[in-house]
Amino acid sequence: MTDDSDADVGDAGSDGDGADPEALADRVTDGDLRLYELDDYADAETAATARRLVVERDTGVDLSATGDYAFAAESADSNIENMVGGAQLPVGVAGPVAVRGEAADGEFYLPIATTEGALVASVNRGCSAISAAGGATARVTKRGMTRAPVFRVDGVAEGAEVAEWVEDNEDRLAEAAESTTGHGRLQSVTPYLVGDSVFLRFSYDTGDANGMNMATIATRAAAEVVEDETPASLVALSGNLCTDKKPAAINAVEGRGHTVTADVTIPREVVEERFGTTPEAIEEANTRKNLIGSAKAGSLGFNAQAANVVAGVFIATGQDEAHVVEGSNCITTVEARDDELYASVNLASLQVGTVGGGTDLATQSEMLDVIGFAGGGDPVGSNADALAEVIAAGALAGELSLVSALASRHLSSAHEELGR
Ligand SMILES: CC(C)(COP(=O)([O-])OP(=O)([O-])OC[C@H]1O[C@@H](n2cnc3c(N)ncnc32)[C@H](O)[C@@H]1OP(=O)([O-])[O-])[C@@H](O)C(=O)NCCC(=O)NCCSC(=O)C[C@@](C)(O)CC(=O)[O-]
Ligand SMILES: NC(=O)C1=CN([C@@H]2O[C@H](COP(=O)(O)OP(=O)(O)OC[C@H]3O[C@@H](n4cnc5c(N)ncnc54)[C@H](OP(=O)(O)O)[C@@H]3O)[C@@H](O)[C@H]2O)C=CC1
């Protein structure tokens, strides 16, 4: 879409369209402008072109591939600073997979952006077995985006008073928090006291949005009320008990974002035909690997590759990719029954949105459309719920296929064949 060689020649000192990327790049090189100030002197695309020129000159690297991006630069204004282009990776589809959810009920393609050969094939195989079995049942059982500021108090007694005040005045905190958003609703505030630190874990229903910005802005307003009304002094708006983008047991236990569970019962003949192994072998591999192995490792994830599906769909659909950390909090269960296999996944903390964040970008919104849940839902929140249910079904497909491949000793040959 963009090309350094045919950029407009114009006045590098003027605002907006017509600015010359070469002249702008010269001004950066001369120390007259900072890289991030280029947007004040040119439209977003020209500014990105000028930045590429600066980086090309400084590093000697040809950035023509990075400059060949397929979205309007200005559409990424709220997503990136110092933009130089686009990072592209292949996206494939698995499915369609049949999902019997509360919000998602039908057959759904699962777009997966990845560079790992064999991943889409694996999820596709799992999807085909799930669909042959009549589909996966999926339910969102909890929603709540959290933000937990930390306050300083003078000691335990004062901290306990602050915690009590918060518990008695949740309605006042909700009023302040909700004054900042049309869609966010404060669901709870849970105080934690550690010595002279008080943590307040705020949890919000954020509708169809991931809600991390929404929750952060709302919590700032609530924190001001806490400071006005109690002796507590705000130290940090995020006190890590949220817990955002770090492995944390609190998310695995209490949930964060969407807590979603999916299960399926697959007839024995379908298992044997699609996975080339038996329900008993899959159960044994799951127990020894995903349960005992994970326990011995002290892992928070009792699964094989939930993060693969979460990451692939997140990148394809404009979710915050760092939330894959929480998205990997998944427990996979498998049970061989008389003539069938029962399998389930529980994703405790899946952060998804169909509005906001990167969901409006060109390819990302296309992929949300492919799944069928782009934009705000009716009722509010139903699109994000549906996306969570479809991802859970995809994670279940990935678990079934990979654990089967391990049970049938096909993992390394599959990757030799498809991934090298
Ligand atoms: C690779 C397969 C699927 C072959 O499996 P197969 O049974 O030999 O393949 P098949 O040719 O008989 O086809 C069966 C089905 O697989 C699908 N399929 C088959 N090939 C393709 C393809 N090219 N493109 C799209 N879909 C494909 C497709 O659904 C097909 O059904 P059909 O449509 O023909 O009725 C299998 O061996 C497999 O799933 N292996 C596991 C690979 C895997 O899961 N990799 C994930 C990444 S591993 C990792 O990152 C995490 C790890 C392992 O470190 C985590 C841990 O510690 O456990
Ligand atoms: N601030 C932070 O600390 C952090 C931010 N992030 C980033 O936050 C972003 C996600 O935040 P998020 O708040 O979701 O996104 P946005 O900041 O993009 O806000 C989305 C907005 O969409 C509006 N909206 C319109 N329709 C709906 C609907 N149906 N349901 C819900 N909201 C709707 C809401 O407006 P209104 O509120 O007015 O109702 C909402 O605030 C990601 O880009 C992520 O990377 C990630 C981690 C930390």
The answer to whether the CB of 90 falls within 8 A of the CB of 113 is yes
For residue 257, which amino acid is it? G
What number is the average pLDDT over the span 2-8?
A: 39
More confident residue, 3 or 9: 3
Domain at 91-143+248-418: CATH architecture: Alpha-Beta Complex (3.90)
Ligand 1 nearest-atom number relative to CA 127:
29
- What span, in angstroms and rounded, lies between the C-alpha atoms of 211 and 196? 29
Write 331-334 long-range contacts (CB < 8 A, 24+): 331/290, 331/302, 331/303, 332/286, 332/290, 332/302, 332/303, 332/304, 332/306, 332/396, 332/399, 332/403, 333/286, 334/279, 334/282, 334/283, 334/286, 334/287, 334/403
Which residue stretches of 242-381 are H helix? Answer: 249-254, 268-275, 279-285, 294-297, 306-317, 324-327, 362-371
pLDDT in tens, 239-265: 999 999 999 999 999 999 999 999 999
**Taking the domains of the chain in order of start, what are their residue ranges?**
14-76, 91-143+248-418, 149-236
Active site residue 269: no
For residue 396, which amino acid is it? L
pLDDT in tens, 172-222: 999 999 999 999 999 999 999 999 999 999 999 999 999 999 999 999 999
Set 22, 26, 105, 116: catalytic member: 116
pLDDT band at 411 (very low <50, low <70, confident <90, very high): confident
pLDDT band at 102 (very low <50, low <70, confident <90, very high): very high
pLDDT in tens, 313-326: 999 999 999 999 99
* Residue owning the nearest CA to atom 57 of ligand 1: 304
pLDDT confidence of residue 197: 98
What backbone torsions phi and psi does residue 96 show, to the nearest 5 degrees?
-65, 150
Which of 143, 178, 183, 382 for a ligand 2 pocket mutation test, highest count of atoms within 8 Å of Cβ?
183
Active site residue 116: yes
pLDDT band at 107 (very low <50, low <70, confident <90, very high): very high
Active site residue 399: no
Which of 122, 412, 415 for a ligand 1 pocket mutation test, highest count of atoms within 8 Å of Cβ?
122
pLDDT at 58 over 90: yes
pLDDT confidence of residue 17: 56
Which of 212, 216, 240 for a ligand 2 pocket mutation test, highest count of atoms within 8 Å of Cβ?
212
Task: Say how far residue 373 (Cα) sits from the centre of its chain.
Answer: 15
- This prediction has a pTM of 0.93
CA of 315 to the centre of ligand 1 (A): 21
pLDDT in tens, 354-370: 999 999 999 999 999 99
Q: Are both 91-143+248-418 and 149-236 of the same fold?
A: no
pLDDT in tens, 109-130: 999 999 999 999 999 999 999 9
Ligand 2 nearest-atom number relative to CA 353:
14
- What span, in angstroms and rounded, lies between the C-alpha atoms of 127 and 99? 10
- What span, in angstroms and rounded, lies between the C-alpha atoms of 101 and 171? 33
pLDDT in tens, 22-45: 999 999 999 999 999 999 999 999
**Nearest ligand (C-alpha, residue 302):** 1
For ligand 2, whether the C-beta of 207 sits within 6 Å is yes
CA of 29 to the centre of ligand 2 (A): 36
pLDDT confidence of residue 419: 75
* Residue owning the nearest CA to atom 1 of ligand 1: 414
Neighbours of 291 (CB within 10 A): 16
CA of 109 to the centre of ligand 1 (A): 16
For the 149-236 domain, the top CATH level (class) is alpha beta
Helix (H) or strand (E) run with residue 165 in it: helix 156-168
The answer to whether the CB of 347 falls within 8 A of the CB of 306 is yes
Q: Where are the beta strands (DSSP E) in 148-240?
A: 150-152, 185-194, 197-205, 233-236
Ligand 1: which residues within 6 Å by Cβ?
116, 118-122, 124-125, 128, 276, 304-305, 308, 401-402, 405, 410-411, 414, 418
- Helix 170-178 and helix 212-229, axial crossing angle in degrees, nearest 10: 130
In sequence order, what DSSP letters do the residues of 267-306 get, joined into one string?
EHHHHHHHHSS-HHHHHHHIIIIIIIIHHHHT-S-BSSSH
pLDDT band at 12 (very low <50, low <70, confident <90, very high): very low
The residue behind tokens 């901290």 is 159
Percent of the chain with pLDDT over 70: 96
